[in-house]
Amino acid sequence: MKPMNSRGSPPRIANTRLRNSKAAAWADPACRPWPARFFCALLLSGVSALALGQQIVPLTIAQGLNHPWAVAFLPNGHFLVSERAGAFRVVAPDGKIGAPIGGLPAIAVGGQGGLLDVVLDSDFVRNRTLYFCYAEPASRGNGNSTALASARLSADLRQLEGLRLLFSQRPKTASELHFGCRIVESKTAQGQADGKLFLTLGERFNRRDDAQTLDNHHGKVIRINKDGSVPADNPFVGRPGALTEIWSFGHRNPQGATLSPQGVLWMHEHGPRGGDEINLPQPGGNYGWPLVSFGRNYDLTAVGDGSSAKAGTEQPLHQWTPSIAPSGMAFVTSEKYGKAWVGNLLVGSLKFTHLARLELERPYAGKVVKETRLLEALGERIRDVRQGPDGFIYVVTDSANGKLIRLAPAAGVPD
């Protein structure tokens, strides 16, 4: 495991209601660094941030996180952050970063691998259960693969207890690339947890053709019960030679997934050179990689025969060429940023260092009708985006000095 970075004193976040306190906004430590100064100046000058299409102000809650990959929201207002280097940290509302939580399994840290996603069970208040995924080392040799585990977080937030391996991607592969690894708790159209989990899995880069065959977990979305067993209604249950956890296939490297309030799974995946995609994986669906793509291989040769559509494969809802390298995905359900944001989809960009706001034909449904790049001025790789239980949007940034940032609504936006 790589050593942790030393941590400076994190800045305190002001509990500023910007609408009520412009002076406090200016005094906020988050306003000190350029480019935050620009947005804060906008608030003070009375210039409508709305007029510039910018309705948010980034406020840094904590920094000094070592390549944070995901953030979850604990019931006491604290944050649980995974660091790719192999640690969970509790971040207090004032930005103080706790010591690494104990009780993690062996993790293969290197390249894109390490400790990756984390989500809390919807009944966490009662059962203290969380789910996390990571690069799991092979018991022998230098292979690894994505694994999903559950555990309970101790009451003092210091220890994982009752660790249970729920799923281990097969086969193990000697690669430090394309782990996928976003977890989504499945819910009904009425918003009730149905006891199942989705997990996105990359094709490990060097095993891309595996994404088209069902005898392995490369380039798949899987669906399992929370105890690791396979739901009887999974699409390939009973098909000879198929791994029964598979929900959909033909994916490349999916690093973002979320559930709409209607219970529909949305996800995105990295294309090669161009052709990043948003897909809504249907049971048994083939999403085409590496038969078809809107992108090209890194050496500019065609993917497959160069076509972007083929019978038997599903078309993406949306595609990005050039690639933005998407990571993290969340729907806005709160009205903190105004009613126009409700039902929008947010996606982080690693490559172009922004947060993409995607307006859809209807809230939570239909094609992308407008795309706006937010937070470009920060110049940070956005690794994860979530809406907190307080209705605010949070992002984590991918660097050795990774940040946890809250997006405050700009002045004048009703809440």
Active site residues: 178
Write down the least CB distance from residue 325 to Ca ion, Å.
16
- With respect to Ca ion, which residue has the nearer C-beta, 86 or 275? 275
Site string for Ca ion, 20-49 (x = CB under 5 A): ------------------------------
Number of residues that bind Ca ion (CB under 5 A): 2
Q: Which tokens sit at 226?
A: 């929370």
- With respect to Ca ion, which residue has the nearer C-beta, 287 or 331? 287
Closest by alpha carbon to 211, among 196, 221, 199, 225? 221
- With respect to Ca ion, which residue has the nearer C-beta, 125 or 309? 309
Distance of CA 348 to the CA centre of its chain: 8
Distance of CA 223 to the CA centre of its chain: 17
- With respect to Ca ion, which residue has the nearer C-beta, 307 or 333? 307
Query: Cα–Cα distance between 294 and 304 in angstroms, integer?
Result: 11
Query: Cα–Cα distance between 339 and 311 in angstroms, integer?
Result: 39
The H or E element spanning position 36 is helix 36-45
Site string for Ca ion, 114-143 (x = CB under 5 A): ------------------------------
* β partners of residue 87: 83
Up-side HSE of residue 353: CA atoms within 13 Å toward CB?
9
Distances (CA, A) of 272 to 205, 276, 299, 320: 10, 7, 10, 11
Write down the least CB distance from residue 220 to Ca ion, Å.
13
Write down the least CB distance from residue 121 to Ca ion, Å.
31
In the range 281-300, which residues lie near Ca ion by CB under 5 A?
287-288
Q: Is 364 in the site for Ca ion (CB under 5 A)?
A: no
- Rg of the Cα atoms in the chain: 21
Write down the least CB distance from residue 276 to Ca ion, Å.
10
- With respect to Ca ion, which residue has the nearer C-beta, 287 or 320? 287
Write down the least CB distance from residue 322 to Ca ion, Å.
16
In the range 222-241, which residues lie near Ca ion by CB under 5 A?
none
Residue 190, amino acid: Q
- With respect to Ca ion, which residue has the nearer C-beta, 154 or 321? 321
Strand residue runs (E) in 49-207: 56-65, 68-73, 79-83, 87-91, 115-120, 129-137, 144-153, 160-168, 183-187, 193-201
Site string for Ca ion, 245-284 (x = CB under 5 A): ----------------------------------------
φ, ψ of residue 341 in degrees (nearest 5): -85, -20
Q: How far apart are the first and last CA of the chain?
A: 44
Only one residue has tokens 């050179």, namely: 273
H-state helical runs in 56-172: 124-127
Instruction: Find out whether 282 and 266 touch, Cβ atoms under 8 Å.
Output: no
Write down the least CB distance from residue 285 to Ca ion, Å.
10
- With respect to Ca ion, which residue has the nearer C-beta, 285 or 409? 285
Write down the least CB distance from residue 297 to Ca ion, Å.
15
Query: Cα–Cα distance between 291 and 211 in angstroms, integer?
Result: 10
| 339 three-class SS | helix
Interacting residues toward Ca ion by CB under 5 A: 287-288
